[in-house]
Structure 1
Amino acid sequence: MGKQMTEMLKGTLEGIVLAILSVRPAYGYEITARLRDEGFADIAEGTIYALLVRIEQKGFVDVEKVPSEKGPPRKVYSLNAQGREYLDEFWTTWGFLAERLEQLHTEGGN
């Protein structure tokens, strides 16, 4: 992944993870696997775990510890009302930026 992609991803990864959790609750490794399935192959698990701590601290998710067949219980994250509100704002902002970028791209003749 190039430096430009990495920088852009830093600004949007929180919204991307919340979008994944809006579909269904998941634990850290499931989220990482889903991101990799979606083409974000270079995202390290540690990045996702640090982000999950941040969104938990911000109150965007509820966390439930569920028994694991292998090892300690897993922390399963589910999007709560505050997180859904933040995600809605993220999508509104994303739509605004995408429209403006497309307009600039079109005006530039590309």
Structure 2
Amino acid sequence: MGSQMTEMLKGTLEGIVLAILDVRPAYGYEITARLRDQGFTDLVEGTIYALLVRIEQRGFVDVEKVPSEKGPPRKVYSINAQGRGQLDEFWRTWSFLAERIGQLHEGEK
């Protein structure tokens, strides 16, 4: 992933992870795997875990510890009402930016 992609991803990753959790609850490795399946192949697992800690601290997700067949229990994250509000704001902002950037790309004023 190029440096420009990395910088853009930093600003949108929280919204992307909330969107994944809006589909269904997941644990950290599962979220990373879904992102890699979507083409974010250079994404480091530690980046996702650090983001999950932040969104948990900000109150956007609920966490449930679920027994694991191997090792300690897994923390499964699910988006809550506050997280959905944040996700809605993310999509509004994304739509606004995408429209304006599209206009610039097409040379419109």
CA displacement 1:50-85 (0-9 Å, x = unmatched): 000000000000000000000000000000000000
How many angstroms does 1:40 deviate by?
0.3
Q: Aligned residue for 1:81? A: 81
Q: Aligned residue for 1:98? A: 98
Find the aligned partners of 2:52 and 2:43 in 1 and give their Cα distance: 14
Q: Aligned residue for 2:56? A: 56
Find the aligned partners of 2:37 and 2:86 in 1 and give their Cα distance: 24
Structure 1, gaps ≥5 residues long: none
Percent sequence identity is 84
Find the aligned partners of 2:3 and 2:28 in 1 and give their Cα distance: 24
SS at match of 1:59: coil
TM-score by length of 1: 0.97
Aligned length: 108
Q: CA RMSD for the aligned pairs?
A: 0.7
How many angstroms does 1:46 deviate by?
0.3
The answer to whether 1:47 aligns with 2:44 is no
